[in-house]
Amino acid sequence: MPAPTSQPAWSDALSDWYGRTARDLPWRRADFSEQYGAWGTLVSEFMLQQTPVARVIPHLEAWLERWPTPAAMATATPAQVVHQWANLGYPRRALWLHRAAVQVVEHHDGVVPREVSKLLELSGIGDYTARAVAVFHYGDRHPVVDTNTRRVIARLVEGLSAPEPPSARDLTRMSTLLPEARAASAVFNAAMMELGAVVCTARSPKCEVCPLASDCAWLRAGQPQTGDRRRRQARYEGSDRQARGALLRMLREAPEHRVPAGVAAEHWPDGGQRDRAIDSLVADGLIEASDGELRLPA
């Protein structure tokens, strides 16, 4: 995809808009970075994966108060981190974050690395999270692409109502739009994500307040509905995911985080689904099952 000739103007317009309207979020504050360093950025990015901002903020504050550094978290047990994760969803992220903290202590002297290649070696870190840490904490120049960014590019550049399924091309597309200066590129990354989150939303875009509306290919085309080929997530109600969540909640709330296996039937009566949920939780390392008992991992 060739770089649009209007790219510098986009950068200026987005930077101005972002400076005036960006939400006041904890991880964007200077004192947050000063207090927690790259570790704070890493924890926030783990929590923000597929979880709304409003749910993340109180959990993030509690987490960093308990474990303000990778070294502090590395001394925790898996049971403690799964319990602290509470209702954030996708609890394997808690175990991955714990393993990442141990790796940072063992291989990086307790300091979250700056290089994307080294960040990618940590447990649970993919292209987005690695680049987010390198850009939003260290200020390096990399494309950072999340769902919101992909939607903005799809509409602004390609005239599509929804982005195509994620692919390696996403980073290439974003790279062509980034300003050359490191500071400007970091702001551009953040502003694109913010634009998709609060203006260029999936269902009710606010095109009338978009700073890039005059250059938007989708808006010029009359906002055609071009379809959405991304894979849809299965319904949560009644799913195995809900069963897993109910069983984990049971153990988080139980004394010493353990119960007799038979108690699980009180929390999820469908026996077949309950057994599948228990088996998958054990396989993921989120619970242990032995001697007729279920418990959070030691």
DSSP state of 22: -
Region of 90 on the Ramachandran plot (φ > 0 left; ψ -120 to 50 alpha; else beta):
left
Catalytic, 45? Answer: yes
Let me know if 4 is exposed, middle or buried by CB neighbors in 10 A (0-12, 13-18, 19+). middle
- Output the six-digit token pair for 119: 């960040």
Residue 144 and residue 131 in contact, taking contact as beta carbons nearer than 8 Å = yes
Structure tokens at 205: 């875009």
Contacts 24+ apart (CB under 8 A), 266-271: 268/243, 270/243
- Which ranges of 5-109 does DSSP label H, i.e. alpha helix? 7-21, 30-48, 53-66, 70-74, 78-85, 92-108
Q: Which two tokens stand for residue 266?
A: 């009180």
Tokens of 176: 């062509």
Query: Looking at 45, 106, 121, 253, which residue is catalytic?
Result: 45
Q: Point out the residues that are catalytic.
A: 45
